[in-house]
Amino acid sequence: MGSVQMQQGPHLAPRRSMAHMPLGGKNIFQLRAAAEVAETAQGESSSRSGQQQQQQQQQQDPNANPYAGVVLPTSDESEELLRIRHSCAHIMAMAVQRLFKGAQVTIGPWIDRGFYYDFDIKEPLSDKDLKRIKKEMAKIMRMDLPFIREEVSADEAEARINAAGEPYKLEILQSIRERDPSAAITIYHIGEQDHPSHWWDLCAGPHVPSTGAINPDAVELESVAGAYWRGDESRQMLQRVYGTAWQEPRQLAAYQHLKAEAARRDHRKLGQELNLFSIQESAGGGLVFWHPPGAIVRHTIETFWKDLHLARGYELVYSPHIAKVDLWKTSGHFDFYRENMYDQMQVEEEEYQLKPMNCPFHIAVYKAGYYSYRDLPLRWAELGTVYRWDA
């Protein structure tokens, strides 16, 4: 939105003896009031003019971003938004337990631009349920209940958890004890403990002062996904509810606009619509088949990349797609990156590994030659295909 900067002159500060001195039939206070009214009218006129100009620009360019200039900080970039998002996770958990009797809560952290909470609920949550939960959250926010931090002993925390019948919280407490037997156990309450709507959770914080500090019109619940407890496939499957929270409704609208644009420009969608490439499940998930139009686009980009590197003093190299697993043990990848590598394959009674990275091969190229310090730096580049198990 366009903005108008108003330059305001110095306020008149008349002495007492001049306060009622007539100036053209009006005293100085009347003149000052008239000036302020005129200034306000001018500001409102300028604001309307800016809005009209923006609307005209939008009509001329329908692809223009109506939220240009709206800042969307991540939780790492804004302490206030971090607190809002973390507090929203607690408020959502409180709302879920108010609506779904027997629902068990697990963990609920803030994330980059929102929050989530994992629940053990018998019935699967639907979009209709999300709307009910959001409505209940708004009620809790309007109640303006305080967030209260309490530090208790591990034994006291355990007693309260057992009394509440929360097995997941008990497991979290046990993990804290195992990690640090002397760790302080903190509980965050929503509302006073004698309040009929009181709710609490194990938590280290931070939170906003009260639920009323959050604007319910700047909060939205987005989706439900499955998540195993503690990421272990042998454990209970939970329902993870994702949400987003902002300081102002306009930020929420801008974020939703950004997500909609991202979905509209989704490379998987565009790849099919423009006949650039396809991903065929019969061949395997994530494996890209480049069609002729896409191959031309790829060739053009790769040629540009190569020409740019050559012009800047780089030399091109090419390396194999697999190597003996011993190379990856020497480089350290096998020990520190193994969970993101494909399984090894047997070739002529030796173990080989699809490469997850290019660098060990470039070291091999370097070791095949003789170089002086005068030859450094060596600038080598490769458009190498790497294979990673990023599930």
**Rounded to an integer, what distance in angstroms lies between the CA atom of residue 160 and that of residue 187?**
10
Phi, then psi, of 67 in degrees rounded to 5: -115, 20
Residues contacting residue 107 through CB under 8 Å, at least 6 positions apart:
117, 118, 172
Element (H, E) at 106: none
Instruction: Output the tens digit of pLDDT for each of the chain's 391 residues.
Output: 443 333 333 333 333 333 333 444 444 444 444 444 455 445 555 445 555 655 565 566 666 778 888 999 999 999 999 999 999 999 999 999 999 999 999 999 999 999 999 999 999 999 999 999 999 999 999 999 999 999 999 999 999 999 999 999 999 999 988 888 888 899 999 999 888 889 999 998 999 999 999 999 999 999 999 999 988 888 999 999 999 999 999 999 999 999 999 999 998 889 999 999 999 889 987 889 999 999 999 999 999 999 999 999 999 999 999 999 999 999 999 888 888 899 999 999 999 999 999 999 999 999 999 999 999 999 999 999 999 887 5
Tell me the fold of 79-262.
Threonyl-tRNA Synthetase; Chain A, domain 2 (3.30.980)
For 304, half-sphere exposure in the C-beta direction (CA atoms, 13 angstrom radius) is 6
pTM value is 0.65
Burial of 228 (0-12, 13-18, 19+ CB in 10 A): middle
Burial of 89 (0-12, 13-18, 19+ CB in 10 A): buried
Burial of 312 (0-12, 13-18, 19+ CB in 10 A): exposed
Tell me the fold of 288-381.
BirA Bifunctional Protein; domain 2 (3.30.930)
